[in-house]
């Protein structure tokens, strides 16, 4: 049954939706050579005997490739391929054909990766593949699909994000603060309202021709598909234009010292806070496993097993949860595990404070900064290091429990040029020492340029409180005695910010 | 060994290509063990290596919150159960689960509360011991209790940014007057705000429902049934049976169509929710099964209505339906998100006309067959890890405490005829059993 996303039903649905998988498999990865011929499509293959077949068809393109003043074009093009008709079939005909198979075709467009994914029972492989092949290789690009999907994108920004999800709003605003509009990461993946309004179908066609090319393609397949199936897929996708692999190379945005705060003003019951700054490490870097340990210890996603959660939620009851990240993790309020294929050349360190009561907004911001400073100053203890390392060594099984997740991680490992993810993690974690981790904290997580995005109703009042640096006692009860001294420090904790760096933005102006 | 694993895996998975009648929808071998105290254990060994998923299903949800002023307590317990027990503090519990590499969480619905973990198989004994302690010997001091009620308020606050949550909350309060489905799982905000003062009541709630006769343990994964049973007997065997049965008020017959409007304080796309009273879950009576099959035909992405309003006329951002499997009669809801508030009446009428259409018109036989196929594949495609299997089972265990109900409901789908669907639609989609909720932003109403 199709289920509406509501309250707790969503937990079950999300869990079911993201889990699809199989026995562990060894990936067979092909890598393009400079002299490749047209049918030498890049592939990541995970064959097994499962009666399910998973597809992840990845193009190395995304919103970082949006032309200037056409922010959102990559995303809209992806939507046109996955939610629009093919040349011979309307979108309605495609969904009709998928209906008895209970299949669908999903898309996800990030900065540098755009992935199309879906699973089918082996019974229906030929029928399903014929549909998705044509959608990607021979799209319809009809005006009515374009009109509908462009409106969807605009409505996503204007109402879903601005008006219906304060948490995702704050997180996305944080990224636009860290990456200025001059940076190719400097806009929301779905785009900007003004640019989308002016976008034409021709723009989509051009973007498709230039970016959805063989050079940018990696085909991922997992499951019990016939032996000759990958060769057929390669042949079919050789119909795409060749293109070239000249990817962008990014410089880390320069950070000037000092805290910067953007307060988004909207009518809401609560106050949500996201903080962060860019880091120089990605999964390709040798210190990534060390930072993964730190992020898990400090704020494992949706887990009570983390430091920040224990201090803010468990001890004080200030909100629903508090987490930390070293990789982009959209839709975190709806899912327990991250989606794969969000590979980026640059990542940020992020702290996510879930909505608090407005009278505690200032106190909790200070508490988050206080705990962050403490982490950087004191590092991790031996005990915390060892237990977190053991957790991650086993948790990698949970992250890759399903065939679809294994395929997604294998594609990401190819991108970052590391071994298959579970092996990589277990081997790297086994070698890691406490010194490595504490050195990585000092080297990468020490920043005097913190960006803070806040979503709240009384933005001017909060701004005034922050710039005056006046005491802000935490208004929560009961207050355990052992927290009294610490709260005294936190309520007066100095935020190093100039008044000109605390700006208030009405929500209507965001992503405009 | 590996060959054996692969072969048995294939035998386990639903063989959808086989003859339609004899196949089982839930094709895994399972064992049911009932302890003398009323606790039930369901074990499903699979060939997915290394991991075990534990789902503990308590047949208590917001449906059981029968006292005035006491909504939201099933969900509150979903929180309190993480604060520690007699032999393990919350911190000790966290440390053990961390060592097991566990993903651990819980959720609450109208009818059930489910605690779940997925973790490394070697830690099964310890996890069962931990679970047994909190189910039998939960311990939380008054201060810790109050702190947790604040986290619940935080959860309400984070949800409250979403207009769809609000519309759903108002729908329930409008459609139900006596039955506990009148409140959502979160509970009424006034009750949530009063929770800090209800420490003693919270223990009463725990004493009533955290009992073996309400509870089923589902274990799925890389395990052996005799070992699992021994562990469960060892740690849960002394759990005392309770004697409480709630008197859940029945909902009187609805005598008139109902309607409510919600003004949303900020910019939003308008919503139109049109619901009719439907039947409760049943794997024996045809009515729920008939409407389950009708829902995607009439309102799914392939329906005429969806094609018209979403794809052709493009008046809607989304159109969806929700018709959950519930212990008591549940709403059949169609939810539309509009692009323009001026289309509200038009969309409302289109949805009503579609409901009405199927009270007189027969669904085409081929459409019905492809819907049956869809439901089977949908279920099969979701069953692809130990956790996914356990998660899918939890819904049915909450209703009937046995996976057998899955095969029964899918067999029932096979017997439904177009005439059954038309008769059921005509019985349920009547004006006096209708509730409509509209929501739009304040500014738009003022225009």
Task: Kindly report the nearest CA distance between residue A239 and chain B, in angstroms.
Answer: 29
Distance of CA A31 to the CA centre of its chain: 25
Determine, for residues B99 and A22 on separate chains, whether the beta-carbon distance falls below 8 Å: no
At the top level of CATH, the class of A23-237 is: alpha beta
Position B154 confidence tier, pLDDT thresholds 50, 70, 90? confident
Joined tokens for residue A382: 């031996």
Joined tokens for residue A167: 């948490």
Q: By C-alpha distance, which of A119, A103, A104, A113 is closest to A75?
A: A113
Q: How far apart are CA A206 and CA A67, in angstroms?
A: 11
According to the model, what pLDDT value does residue A481 have? 86
Look at residue B1 and tell me whether its pLDDT is greater than 80: no
Q: Is B71 on the interface with A (CB under 8 A)?
A: no
Look at residue B3 and tell me whether its pLDDT is greater than 50: no
Look at residue B4 and tell me whether its pLDDT is greater than 80: no
Can you give the length of chain A in residues? 512
Q: How far apart are CA B86 and CA B99, in angstroms?
A: 20
Q: Which residues in chain B are closer than 8 Å to A320, comparing Cβ atoms?
A: 151, 154-155, 157-158
Q: Is A305 on the interface with B (CB under 8 A)?
A: yes
According to the model, what pLDDT value does residue B2 have? 33
At the top level of CATH, the class of A267-468 is: alpha beta
According to the model, what pLDDT value does residue A249 have? 85
Q: Is the dihedral of CA A28, A34, A35, A39 positive or negative?
A: positive
Q: How far apart are CA B383 and CA B389, in angstroms?
A: 5
Q: Is A2 on the interface with B (CB under 8 A)?
A: yes
Position B13 confidence tier, pLDDT thresholds 50, 70, 90? very low
Question: ipTM of the predicted structure?
Answer: 0.83
H/E stretch holding A206 reads helix A201-211
Task: Choose, out of A5, A16, A387, the residue to mutate when testing the contact with B (most B CBs < 10 Å).
Answer: A16
Look at residue B133 and tell me whether its pLDDT is greater than 80: yes
Judge contact between A85 and A215, C-beta under 8 A: no
Q: Which residues in chain A are closer than 8 Å to B100, comparing Cβ atoms?
A: 394
Q: Which residues in chain B are closer than 8 Å to A357, comparing Cβ atoms?
A: 153-154, 157
Q: Which residues in chain B are closer than 8 Å to A9, comparing Cβ atoms?
A: 109, 324
Judge contact between A305 and A391, C-beta under 8 A: yes
Task: Kindly report the nearest CA distance between residue A16 and chain B, in angstroms.
Answer: 6
pTM: 0.88
Average pLDDT of every residue of chain B = 92
A vs B: CB pairs below 8 A: 295
The SS3 call for residue B108 is strand
Q: Is B184 on the interface with A (CB under 8 A)?
A: yes
Determine, for residues A95 and B302 on separate chains, whether the beta-carbon distance falls below 8 Å: yes
Q: Please enumerate in sequence order all residues whose Cβ is within 8 A of that of A42, keeping only pairs 6 or more positions apart, or say none.
A: A30, A31, A32, A217, A218, A219
Position B18 confidence tier, pLDDT thresholds 50, 70, 90? very low
The SS3 call for residue A322 is strand
Residues of chain A with CATH 3.30.830.10: 23-237, 267-468
Name residues 281-320 of chain B within 8 A of A (Cβ). Answer: 292, 295-296, 300-302, 307, 310-312, 314, 317, 320
According to the model, what pLDDT value does residue A24 have? 37
According to the model, what pLDDT value does residue A244 have? 83
Of B310, B376, B388, the CB nearest to A19: B388
Task: Kindly report the nearest CA distance between residue B148 and chain A, in angstroms.
Answer: 6
* CA–CA distances in Å: residue B394 to residues A16, A68, B49, B376: 11, 49, 21, 18
Determine, for residues B48 and A357 on separate chains, whether the beta-carbon distance falls below 8 Å: no
The SS3 call for residue A387 is helix
Of B108, B370, B387, the CB nearest to A15: B387
According to the model, what pLDDT value does residue A34 have? 39
Domains and CATH numbers, chain B: 30-236 (3.30.830.10), 258-446 (3.30.830.10)
Q: Is B60 on the interface with A (CB under 8 A)?
A: no
- The pLDDT tens digits for A39-54 are 478 999 999 988 899 9
Q: How far apart are CA A334 and CA A327, in angstroms?
A: 17
According to the model, what pLDDT value does residue A256 have? 86
Q: Of all residues in chain B, what percent carry a pLDDT higher than 70?
A: 94
Ranges of residues in chain A whose predicted pLDDT is under 70: 1-39, 246
- The pLDDT tens digits for A252-303 are 788 889 999 999 999 998 999 999 999 999 999 999 999 999 999 999 999 9
Can you give the length of chain B in residues? 447
According to the model, what pLDDT value does residue A246 have? 67
According to the model, what pLDDT value does residue A16 have? 27
Q: Is B54 on the interface with A (CB under 8 A)?
A: no
Q: Of all residues in chain B, what percent carry a pLDDT higher than 90?
A: 87
Give the torsion through C-alpha atoms of B16, B18, B22, B24, to 10 deg. -20
Task: Kindly report the nearest CA distance between residue A395 and chain B, in angstroms.
Answer: 4
Q: Is A475 on the interface with B (CB under 8 A)?
A: no
Q: Which has the higher per-residue pLDDT, B19 or B221?
A: B221
Q: How would you classify the pairing of strands A260-265 and A502-506?
A: parallel
Determine, for residues A166 and B151 on separate chains, whether the beta-carbon distance falls below 8 Å: no
Q: How far apart are CA B331 and CA A402, in angstroms?
A: 34
Task: Choose, out of A47, A102, A152, A506, the residue to mutate when testing the contact with B (most B CBs < 10 Å).
Answer: A102
Q: Please enumerate in sequence order all residues whose Cβ is within 8 A of that of A31, keeping only pairs 6 or more positions apart, or say none.
A: A42, A414
According to the model, what pLDDT value does residue A474 have? 93
- The pLDDT tens digits for B190-212 are 999 999 999 999 999 999 999 99
Burial (CB count within 10 angstroms: exposed 0-12, middle 13-18, buried 19+), residue B111 = buried
According to the model, what pLDDT value does residue B23 have? 67
According to the model, what pLDDT value does residue B24 have? 84
When pLDDT is averaged across residues B363-375 and rounded to a whole number, the result is 97
When pLDDT is averaged across residues B374-380 and rounded to a whole number, the result is 94
Determine, for residues B324 and A394 on separate chains, whether the beta-carbon distance falls below 8 Å: no
Look at residue B11 and tell me whether its pLDDT is greater than 60: no
According to the model, what pLDDT value does residue B385 have? 92
Q: Is A392 on the interface with B (CB under 8 A)?
A: yes
According to the model, what pLDDT value does residue B205 have? 97
Task: Choose, out of B50, B52, B91, B147, the residue to mutate when testing the contact with A (most A CBs < 10 Å).
Answer: B147
Give the chain A residue whose CA is nearest to the CA of B297: A99
According to the model, what pLDDT value does residue A147 have? 96
Position B265 confidence tier, pLDDT thresholds 50, 70, 90? confident
DSSP code, position A288: H
Look at residue B112 and tell me whether its pLDDT is greater than 60: yes
Judge contact between B88 and B96, C-beta under 8 A: yes
Joined tokens for residue B380: 């099969």
DSSP code, position B228: H
Q: At what angle do helices B404-415 and B286-299 cross, to 10 degrees?
A: 70
Q: How far apart are CA B189 and CA A457, in angstroms?
A: 20
According to the model, what pLDDT value does residue A5 have? 32
């Amino acid at each position: 049954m199709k289920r509406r996303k509501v309250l707790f039903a969503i937990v079950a649905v999300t869990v079911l939706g993201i889990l699809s998988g199989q026995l562990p498999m060894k990936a067979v990865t092909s890598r393009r050579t400079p002299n490749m011929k047209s049918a030498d499509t890049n592939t990541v293959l995970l064959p097994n005997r499962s009666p399910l077949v998973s597809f992840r068809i990845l193009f190395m393109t995304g919103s970082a490739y949006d032309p200037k003043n056409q922010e959102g074009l990559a995303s809209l093009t992806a939507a046109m391929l996955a939610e629009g008709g093919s040349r011979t079939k309307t979108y309605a005909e495609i969904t009709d054909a998928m209906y008895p198979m209970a299949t669908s075709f999903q898309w996800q467009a990030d900065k540098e990766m755009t992935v199309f994914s879906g699973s089918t029972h082996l019974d229906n492989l030929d029928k399903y593949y014929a549909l998705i092949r044509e959608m990607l290789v021979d799209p319809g690009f009809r005006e009515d699909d374009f009109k509908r999907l462009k409106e969807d994108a605009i409505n996503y920004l204007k109402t879903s994000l601005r008006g219906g999800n304060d948490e995702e709003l704050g997180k996305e605003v944080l990224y636009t603060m860290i990456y200025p509009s001059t940076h190719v990461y400097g806009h929301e993946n779905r785009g900007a309202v003004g640019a989308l309004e002016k976008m034409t179908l021709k723009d989509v066609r051009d973007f498709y021709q230039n970016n959805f090319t063989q050079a940018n393609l990696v085909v991922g397949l997992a499951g019990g598909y016939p032996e000759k199936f990958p060769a057929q897929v390669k042949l079919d996708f050789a119909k795409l234009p060749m293109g070239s692999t000249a990817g962008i190379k990014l410089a880390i945005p320069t950070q000037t010292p000092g805290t910067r705060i953007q307060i988004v003003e909207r009518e809401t019951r609560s106050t949500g806070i996201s903080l962060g700054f860019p880091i120089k490490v990605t999964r390709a870097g040798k210190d990534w496993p060390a930072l993964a340990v730190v992020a898990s210890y400090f704020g494992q996603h949706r887990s009570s097993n983390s430091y920040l959660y224990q201090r803010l939620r468990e001890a004080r009851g200030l909100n629903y949860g508090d987490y930390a990240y070293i990789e982009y993790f959209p839709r975190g309020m709806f899912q327990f595990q991250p989606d794969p294929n969000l590979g980026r050349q640059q990542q940020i360190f992020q702290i996510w404070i879930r909505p608090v009561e407005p009278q505690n907004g200032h106190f909790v911001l200070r508490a988050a900064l206080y705990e962050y400073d403490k982490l950087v100053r004191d590092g991790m203890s031996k005990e915390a290091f060892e237990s977190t390392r053991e957790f991650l060594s086993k948790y990698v099984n949970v992250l890759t429990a399903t065939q679809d997740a294994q395929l997604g991680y294998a594609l990401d490992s190819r991108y970052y040029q590391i071994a298959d993810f579970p092996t990589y993690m277990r081997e790297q974690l086994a070698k890691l020492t406490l010194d490595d981790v504490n050195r990585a904290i000092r080297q990468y997580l020490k920043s005097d340029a913190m960006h803070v995005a806040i979503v709240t109703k009384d933005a001017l009042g909060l701004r005034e409180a922050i710039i005056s640096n006046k005491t802000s006692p935490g208004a929560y009860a009961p207050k355990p005695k052992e927290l009294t001294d610490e709260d005294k420090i936190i309520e007066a904790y100095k935020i190093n910010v100039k008044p000109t760096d605390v700006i208030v933005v009405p929500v209507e102006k965001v992503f405009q | 060994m590996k060959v054996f694993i692969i072969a048995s895996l294939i035998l386990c998975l639903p063989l959808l290509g086989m003859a339609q009648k004899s196949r089982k929808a839930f094709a895994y071998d399972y064992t049911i063990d009932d302890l003398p105290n009323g606790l039930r254990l369901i074990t499903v060994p699979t060939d997915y290596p290394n991991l075990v998923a534990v789902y503990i299903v308590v047949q208590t949800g917001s449906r059981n919150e029968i006292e005035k002023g006491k909504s939201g307590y099933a969900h509150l317990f979903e929180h309190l159960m993480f604060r520690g027990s007699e032999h393990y503090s919350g911190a000790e519990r966290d440390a053990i689960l961390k060592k097991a590499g566990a993903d651990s969480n819980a959720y609450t619905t109208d009818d059930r509360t489910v605690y779940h973990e997925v973790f490394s198989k070697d830690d099964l004994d310890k996890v069962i011991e931990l679970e047994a302690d909190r189910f039998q010997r939960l311990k939380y001091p008054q201060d810790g209790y109050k702190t947790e009620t604040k986290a619940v308020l935080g959860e309400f606050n984070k949800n409250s940014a979403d207009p769809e949550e609000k519309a759903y909350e108002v729908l329930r309060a409008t459609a139900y007057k006596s039955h506990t489905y009148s409140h959502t799982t979160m509970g009424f905000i006034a009750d949530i705000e009063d929770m800090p003062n209800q420490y003693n009541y919270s223990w009463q709630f725990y004493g009533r429902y955290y009992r073996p006769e309400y509870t089923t343990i589902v274990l799925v994964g890389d395990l052996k049934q005799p070992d699992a049973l021994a562990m469960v007997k060892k740690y849960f065997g002394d759990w005392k049976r309770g004697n409480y049965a709630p008197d859940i008020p029945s909902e009187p017959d609805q005598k008139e169509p109902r309607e409510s409007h919600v003004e949303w304080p900020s910019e939003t796309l308008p919503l139109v929710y049109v619901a009719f009273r439907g039947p409760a879950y049943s794997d024996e009576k045809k009515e729920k099964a008939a409407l389950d099959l009708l829902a995607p035909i009439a309102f799914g992405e392939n329906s005429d209505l969806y094609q018209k309003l979403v794809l052709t006329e493009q008046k809607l951002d989304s159109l969806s339906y929700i018709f959950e499997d519930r212990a008591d009669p549940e709403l059949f809801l169609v939810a539309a998100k509009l692009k323009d508030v001026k289309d509200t009446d038009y969309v409302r009428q289109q949805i009503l006309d579609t409901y009405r259409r199927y009270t007189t018109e027969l669904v085409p036989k081929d459409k019905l067959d492809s819907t049956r196929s869809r439901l089977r594949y949908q279920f099969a495609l979701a069953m692809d890890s130990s956790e996914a299997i356990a998660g899918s089972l939890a819904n049915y265990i909450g209703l009937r405490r046995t996976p057998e109900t899955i095969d029964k409901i899918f067999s029932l789908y096979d017997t439904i005829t177009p005439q059954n669907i038309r008769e059921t639609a005509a019985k349920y989609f009547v004006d006096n059993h209708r509730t409509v909720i509209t929501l739009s932003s304040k500014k738009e109403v003022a225009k």
